[in-house]
Amino acid sequence: MLRDKKVVVGISGGIAAYKVCEVISRLFQAGAEVRVVLTDSAQRFITPLTVATLSRHAAYTDEDFWDSHQPRPVHIELGEWADLILLAPLTANTLAKVSLGLADTLLANIILASTCPVLGAPAMNTDMWQQLSVQSNWRKLQRDERYHILSPNSGLLACDRRGKGRMSEPIEIVEAVESLIHSRGRRDLSERKILISAGGTREHIDAVRFIGNPSSGKMGLAIAKAAVYRGATVTLVHAPIEVKLLENLPAVERFSVTSSAEMEQSLLKQAAKFDWIIMCAAVGDVRSRIRHDAKLAKADLPESLELETIPDIAAQLGQQKRADQKLIGFAAQTGDITAPALEKLRRKNLDAIAANAIDLPDSGFGSNNNQLVFIDKEGRQATIPMAPKLAIAHHLLDFIKQL
């Protein structure tokens, strides 16, 4: 997603500046061209040599702003060059400058001399973040469609306080950069309410044993992230997912369930409120007719299980959906993936389906990558080759927009 894309990283003076080194490294490894601009105060925390080494390009400071040997003003050159500007950490001082349109530093001038999207990752003491003046500046930027702000996280701060003010984690920042690069900063889903299911359901036999599947929920989480970054209002209903995968999830309403019955109840109850419903969860097909609340002793385990079929949630949603709703399914298959996916699309009254092969290396369940064939009810197909799941998610959203 970032191959040959041009990113200006503006670093202000805050302790979180050290975390931006990982951001720069990740951007470079993803194929982006990176130019780093350090404010004077930022150089008290990290050096131009450090960021130059990580970005493979000389860093820029305010000294370059006044360099008369440049063929063109450096702020004009970098402002026109950038596909995106990242401000990390976005300190209270830089936030105020940007919101007021001040132009007293190289970084501030680059922002004013550009038209590309600007992503800010605030970082500051909790009391500073909560000041009315800071919140006013933050809200002012959010009203400008150019600016996209990652709300700071909560946790232990460098001042030994616990509260809101931690800069977003590097992986979260890079995912936001990738998303804004893909959408060119447009909030093209701002009028959409999207319901997404994710993860693999568990059908318990007793208190500890269950029938399940290896779905990690990563694809559903990627779709949720992509939709939020593009302005959608997202609700996520998910089966058990590793806590660490949920840590960097942007603002979504989230409902945690375990069994298919719980997922069915949650989805059917809420479905009418949404424009798009994306069924990415790997919902079980069968469950034991008898469930024991306590753990069975090994000697008491039955020699065979009597199974019953689980109601098809997507098919129920297909029967009750409005004409203006879009219902998207997923089909995890081995071997031929398109024929079974087409059959499911028609039988469940879906508007489109994403077929993915789970028997290919580094693809499908648990993988960070995927490859899909999108099929709509008119039979049109679009093949997306192997890519990170966040990239796949954006292509899926693009495909749904065209339905």
Instruction: Give the tens place of pLDDT for each residue, 257-307.
Output: 999 999 999 999 999 999 999 999 999 999 999 999 999 999 999 999 999
Q: How many domains does the chain have?
A: 2
Percent of the chain with pLDDT over 70: 100
Q: What is the reported pLDDT for 179? A: 95
Query: What domain range is 258 assigned to?
Result: 193-401
Q: What is the reported pLDDT for 153? A: 87
Q: What is the reported pLDDT for 9? A: 98
Q: Which amino acid is it at 139? A: R
Summarize the confidence of residues 70-77 as an average pLDDT.
88
Q: What is the reported pLDDT for 157? A: 85
Look at residues 148, 183, 218 and tell me which one is the last residue of a structural domain. 183
Instruction: Give the tens place of pLDDT for each residue, 328-340.
Output: 999 998 899 999 9
In a domain, 121, yes or no: yes
In a domain, 1, yes or no: no
CATH number reported for the structural domain that contains residue 33 in this entry:
3.40.50.1950
Q: What is the reported pLDDT for 1? A: 84
Cα–chain center distance at 219: 10
The yes-or-no verdict on residue 370 having pLDDT over 80 is: yes
| Triad 28, 165, 241: Cα angle to 5° | 70
Q: Are residues 63 and 200 in the same domain?
A: no
Q: Which amino acid is it at 2? A: L
Q: Are residues 173 and 290 in the same domain?
A: no
Q: Are residues 169 and 199 in the same domain?
A: no
Instruction: Give the tens place of pLDDT for each residue, 189-223.
Output: 999 999 999 999 999 999 999 999 999 999 999 99
Q: Are residues 171 and 199 in the same domain?
A: no
Largest CA distance in the chain: 85
Whether 21 is a known active-site residue: answer no
Q: What is the reported pLDDT for 169? A: 94
Q: Are residues 117 and 20 in the same domain?
A: yes
Describe the crossing of helices 170-183 and 218-229 by its angle, rounded to 10 degrees.
Answer: 60
Pairwise CA distance, residues 309 & 306, whole Å = 10
Q: What is the pTM of this model?
A: 0.92
Pairwise CA distance, residues 48 & 42, whole Å = 9
Contact 137, 40 (CB under 8 A): no
Out of 21, 116, 159, 280, which one is annotated catalytic?
159
Q: Are residues 167 and 242 in the same domain?
A: no
Instruction: Give the tens place of pLDDT for each residue, 142-184.
Output: 999 999 999 998 888 888 888 889 999 999 999 999 999 999 9
- Banded pLDDT at 360 (limits 50, 70, 90): confident
